[in-house]
A and B are shown apart, each in its own frame.
Chain A
Amino acid sequence: DQQVKQNSPSLSVQEGRISILNCDYTNSMFDYFLWYKKYPAEGPTFLISISSIKDKNEDGRFTVFLNKSAKHLSLHIVPSQPGDSAVYFCAASASTGNQFYFGTGTSLTVIP
């Protein structure tokens, strides 16, 4: 049972434009969400997180939005750069639980 879903396996965006990566979850107990970026042959790198008490968190070019009623979060990258080309995973956890649940990832390609 996939509790965290990333329904777009891939996304292509022109350099300088906005990249929007989406993530949906089913468990209403999830209250902490993270985004990771992964290059081939490397482990995932932590990007940004958000707790359920917020609906937005920014860090430089990266902004995560959380819509609790829709059980949806998104990662915005503005402006997109070729170095952003990677696989992006969203993850969620419940403060009462002991693990993170990961989505299957979205492969982002930023075209120069």
Chain B
Amino acid sequence: KAGVTQTPRYLIKTRGQQVTLSCSPISGHRSVSWYQQTPGQGLQFLFEYFSETQRNKGNFPGRFSGRQFSNSRSEMNVSTLELGDSALYLCASSIAPNTEAFFGQGTRLTVV
């Protein structure tokens, strides 16, 4: 059974640009969550989707957005990139909300 797949693995962008990250959950998983991890920080919750609906959003500016498709795949978008957006972005999928989440390897975003 394939795990959670995140693409791309690494990304370098310039300040002011926008970026889209992709996440394919484990087959049969309908809940997808996104987290940001920066050095010295835990995983900061971005948002959670279930059945194409955003159920919850963390304390991040509106530049961070996401969506989920009918096949449960999810994308997150960050517009007007800032240097502080440099982080590891992790996607996790679970069968349903509030059950064990399985993480992808993450996308390492560097903003220069």
Contact = CB atoms under 8 A, between A and B. Distances in A.
A89 to B, nearest CB: 6
A105 B100 contact: no
A41 B106 CA distance: 8
A43 B90 contact: yes
Interface residue range, chain A: 20 to 34
A98 B96 CA distance: 10
Interface stretch (A14-22, A44-52, A55-63, A64-72): A44-52
B90 A44 contact: yes
A17 to B, nearest CB: 26
B98 A97 contact: yes
A45 B101 CA distance: 9
A99 interface: yes
30 contacts: A2-B42, A4-B42, A32-B98, A34-B101, A36-B103, A42-B105, A42-B106, A43-B92, A44-B90, A46-B100, A91-B43, A93-B98, A95-B98, A97-B98, A98-B48, A98-B55, A98-B56, A98-B97, A99-B33, A99-B45, A99-B48, A99-B58, A100-B33, A100-B45, A102-B42, A102-B44, A104-B40, A104-B41, A104-B42, A105-B42
